[in-house]
Every structure is written in structure tokens, then in C-alpha cells.
Amino acid sequence: MKWNFLKSIVDGILDAVAPRHCLGNGSCLSKNDRFEKSLLSNTFLDSLEIAPDSDEIILHCQDILGKDNVRIKQFHALYLFENDSPIQEVIHYFKYKHYQMLGTSLGTLLGEMLKKQYKRLPEVIIPIPLHPVRIRERGFNQAAIIAKAVGNVLQRPVLTQNVLRTIYRKPQALQEFSNRIKLDEGMFSVRNSESIEKKHVLLIDDVLTTSSTVNAVARTLLYAGAKRVDTAVLCYTKPKKY
């Protein structure tokens, strides 16, 4: 009790001397901000552009991959992602500056959105895997952090070791766009397929652009026996040219 009282005094002094600011818009944070500890203000989150619905995203992915090649049943996204948009800076902090609490907070929001949209929730959640080399480079899998937050909200198991990325390639951001849209055949494998057999699976990632990666994972899961595969991401971006 005494410690909590002293802590509140210290926090108050620090906030007055060196107030913390939102990573998205630079505004001063307050105790009223839901994700204050993650350095996200309510005003910033309220200002973000909402992503289009699943039908529009599916049409976009069909344009890129071909109508008969898309294996995802539904797509869900929180925000629209564009170059130089406010959410881009936040995603950069999350992935490259190790602000992992951002993934937890945004994943919580994603989970709350999914809980409202689904009449019947998916049975298992799987984050898009990183190759072990990339894990060593970055130190963590951003999709796994988001997936765990979604799982906490939906009360569904998160399987982080059941899909493996077997082929290493350079980051998508460094690739030519035309190379991104090629189907990633043979890049993923499923371990312990009984855990997903005849089940509705929800894939989780941070940003959806061409959908080639999530579609390749969905193809692998369906081949291994999954009943249905959906995808949910923090951000959706539609390329200007494809």
C-alpha cells in the first residue's frame, strides 16, 4: 500500500518534469489513455483510418494472386496502412526498435474487433512464422506477439510451433513488387498436423500487402487437413500498382 502511494508520487513528478509522448502523434500521454504504458494515446488511435471489410480485401488479393488461387476464406484488418501514414511509424517502432508492448496493445484491439465480427470464433490461432535466421536477427517474431494478445481476448489456443518457415529469403520490403506476388510454394511446412486437422484456423500477421505469404501458409494448412483458414492483421495496405 505504502509502495503504491510512493510510486504514484514518483510517477506524477516524472510526468510533470518529463512527460511521455505518444509514438504516433507526439501528444502528451495521460492516465486516461488506455494504452498509456505502450505510448499510444486515445486520440491517435481514434484518428487512424479503418481498413476496408473482408470482401474488398479478398477482391484485392484475387486481383493479385488470381481468383482461383486465394485460399483464405476471410480477411480481417484493423487499420489502413500507407507510406508516411501515422501507423507506419508505430509499426516501425514495434518491429525494428523492439517496442514489443505495441504489438500486445494493438493485438488486443484486433482481438476485440474479431470478437465482435465472428459469430463462431476460430478454433486455433497461428502466427505467420519467421525463419530461424530472421528470429536471430530481430530477436522475436512480431506476429507471435500479436497472436498471443488476440488469443487472450478470444480465449483460443495460440500455436507458435506448428507451422515452420523452411526457406530463408530477404525481407519483403527489400524485394521487387513483382517478386512478392509469386506464390511461396514449398516455403512452409506443418508439424503435428493433428492439432489443426478439421479445424477453423486464424492466421495472424502484422501487415498485409500482396497476401502471397499468408495465402501460402493457408494452402499448406489446408493440405495438412485444416477445415478453413482466415487471416487477421493489424494493417492492410493496397499497392498502387499491381
Rounded to an integer, the average pLDDT of 185-211 is 92
pLDDT range class, residue 42, cuts 50, 70, 90: very high
Rounded to an integer, the average pLDDT of 184-208 is 91
Q: So what's the pLDDT on residue 237?
A: 92
Percent of the chain with pLDDT over 90: 70
Q: Per-residue pLDDT tens for 130-181?
A: 988 888 888 899 999 999 999 999 999 999 999 999 887 766 554 555 555 5
- Whether the model clears a pTM of 0.75, i.e. scores above it, the answer is yes
Closest listed residue to residue 26, CA positions, set 78, 93, 114:
93
Q: So what's the pLDDT on residue 114?
A: 98
On the question of pLDDT at 224 being above 50, the answer is yes
Go through the domains of the chain in sequence order and give each one's CATH number. 1-47 (no CATH), 49-236 (3.40.50.2020)
Q: So what's the pLDDT on residue 169?
A: 73
pLDDT range class, residue 203, cuts 50, 70, 90: very high
Q: So what's the pLDDT on residue 176?
A: 55
Distances (CA, A) of 140 to 143, 146, 225: 9, 11, 28
